[in-house]
A and B are shown apart, each in its own frame.
Chain A
């Protein structure tokens, strides 16, 4: 349990949304709203990190700064 407490944390979502998630995951294979929300969040984080990798490596003027102070 100590390990689990260290590795996980709790976030809050509106109860109404939690109940809707509970309903929609019934036939998806996800075992709980938490598992589903973790899945969705992980997908979103991968996408944002991938986007970040791209925009920070743009060679053009729109990219990160390179002029010296």
Chain B
């Protein structure tokens, strides 16, 4: 009798084949080294654009973004010039809260398995919000909002808000006053959903501070030592039509000297009674809390936004992030022990986050490199790879010899040395006209009566076509094609005045990326040269004012993958090991869309006709 086979997938977001090979060569990744020697591994083609929710959805469905329907973080709305989220659809609910709808057009791996009566556990894979139905359990990944309906907004409470705002001007709205109440007491306010709010009291007790919730008669919710973290604190919010809605967050007492400063993570849905759909079946998220206690439920379980906006330091960021990632691993270990699954898919953002925030500390060529600052953070990227490797070892220890292991990444990682402002470039060519004057370094809205082309999201350019756009001015047909050709040629001719390099390596037409299924998608998509990245502020369909078109990257976002780069410039990696896998290489054609059919093949199932990829074991 054939033994039942299982598949464990570790989704190592951002794992880069070259960095991984270098670390394996240096003896730093013993688990991955063993898997590569005994199994198969190689580079893996990513999607265009190479961004996590788009790429992971291709991994989970076996089809390209044109088919699964998730094309970018944000896109231009089809019927207006508004930037809109590209991961799912949002409508208004009767109670004033948003309702989120999936726009995935094909079934995910978990759904395909469920159809065949097979069990899968899928943990926090980007793009899986709202969660699709599944047999087993799925915990939603990136896309899952916090209680405020954002991707995760943290806060900084301080007795010196003016000082913190001056130090972190991009994070001013995240800085809140700790109001003095006298006698060693301060009050802080926490915004909640539908304009509800909650508040806490901080009481000094020697060198410690006791945090209490006002609504509970000041029952202590946490005791904070200097530099220490609270556990998860439940905050109640009175939401009209919903009653009391609870959220969870953690606090860190950052400083308690002359200035009292407290960091608060995003207020997130509770695993047991989430405000928004967190898991499938709905009770699965609570079951996970029984395994590991309360945990980060927001889809990006690390405060990269806080780092970018200057309100959270890198040490606080890593302490919070690794605690959350560790809990994700513990969840997987708890589920492995149950032995009731056919597929277990754990996603970890660790390597991706490290490459975004710590690249400049280890790369002397990076304009943000500072040898003195780099000492503490020089090995953070290596630490991320080693940490994932160690967790992989723990997982492999627990699986049986019936389990095939797949380690897969959605894309690699590259340095971002130079930032380009694509809409400012379009303005310089007369294709785009700002509507207003704003201060240098701010983004202006567009004059749509005079704008012929504009960029949204990860570099996608829409032409302002008459009859398609509300105030379209570009005539369809020959004038439209002539303008597309003209902009494409000009983009390819664009040179960085400092380096002499061309900035754009290729310009794709919408139909080249999305086939006949453009569905309101962009008209042109330029691919940037490695080393260049998009400057922030323009992706919302705005134009940066008073800046050179290309600047040296001094931002906290020193590495990345989103580009947009050609898939061949920032590919991911795949490792296959265990029963059903012979030693050797993965085929040169290997792509993310091959992962779903590979899993189905390992489980003895045939791939549905819609799947474009082919098993890597064929």
Contact = CB atoms under 8 A, between A and B. Distances in A.
Nearest to B194: A46
Contact of A67 (B90, B150, B441, B560): B441
Interface string B175-198: 000000000000000000000000
Most chain A CB atoms below 10 A, which of B83, B439, B554: B83
Contact of A66 (B82, B536, B547): B536
Contact of B150 (A42, A43, A48, A53): A53
A56 B84 CA distance: 10
B441 A61 contact: no
Interface stretch (B108-116, B286-294, B303-311): B303-311
Interface stretch (B359-367, B538-546, B597-605): B538-546
Dominant SS among interface residues on chain B: loop
A67 B536 contact: yes
A42 B91 CA distance: 10
Interface string A18-61: 00000000000000000000000011111110110111111111
Interface stretch (B92-100, B157-165, B209-217, B370-378): B92-100
A44 to B, nearest CB: 6
A59 B151 contact: yes
B74 A57 contact: no
A69 B92 contact: no
B300 A62 contact: no
Given A62-B74, A66-B536, A44 B308 contact: no
B458 A53 contact: no
Contacts of B536: 61-67
A40 B318 CA distance: 44
A57 B98 CA distance: 16
Nearest to B87: A54
B90 A58 contact: no
A62 B544 CA distance: 13
Interface of B: 51, 72-74, 82-85, 90-93, 96-98, 145, 148-153, 169-170, 300, 304-305, 308-310, 419, 439-443, 456-458, 533-540, 544, 546-547, 551, 554-557, 560, 562
Interface of A: 42-48, 50-51, 53-69
Given A55-B540, A66-B170, A69-B441, A61 B150 contact: no
Contacts of A68: 169-170, 441
Given A43-B91, A44-B92, A55-B84, A69 B442 contact: yes
Contact of A53 (B149, B456, B533, B535): B149
Given A62-B72, A65-B536, A54 B169 contact: no
Given A43-B91, A65-B443, 17 more contacts: A43-B92, A54-B151, A57-B151, A57-B305, A59-B300, A59-B308, A61-B539, A62-B457, A62-B458, A62-B536, A63-B539, A64-B443, A66-B309, A68-B170, A68-B441, A69-B439, A69-B546
B537 A47 contact: no
Contact of A47 (B51, B91, B305, B419): B91
Contacts, number: 126
A37 to B, nearest CB: 14
A67 B98 CA distance: 31
Contacts of B457: 62
A32 B536 CA distance: 46
A64 B310 CA distance: 14
Contacts of B557: 61
Contacts of B74: 55, 58, 62
Contact of A54 (B91, B145, B534): B145
B534 A46 contact: no
A61 B440 contact: no
A66 B83 CA distance: 18
Contact of A46 (B83, B97, B538, B546): B97
14 contacts: A42-B92, A43-B92, A44-B92, A55-B84, A56-B540, A58-B539, A61-B533, A62-B536, A62-B562, A63-B308, A66-B308, A66-B309, A67-B537, A68-B441
Contacts of B98: 46-47, 50
Contacts of A57: 150-153, 305
A18 B91 CA distance: 24
B92 A61 contact: no
A32 to B, nearest CB: 18
Nearest to B561: A60
Nearest to A40: B92
A59 B304 contact: yes
Nearest to A43: B92
Most chain B CB atoms below 10 A, which of A45, A53, A66: A66
A50 B90 CA distance: 7
B318 to A, nearest CB: 15
A64 to B, nearest CB: 6
B85 A67 contact: no
Contacts of A48: 82
A64 B93 contact: no
Contacts of B546: 69
A54 B540 CA distance: 12
Nearest to B556: A66
A41 B143 CA distance: 25
A46 B305 contact: no
Give the 4 A-B CB pairs with smallest separation, nearest first: A69-B441, A65-B537, A46-B92, A62-B539
Most chain A CB atoms below 10 A, which of B150, B304, B551: B150
A46 B544 CA distance: 28
A68 B539 CA distance: 17
A45 to B, nearest CB: 7
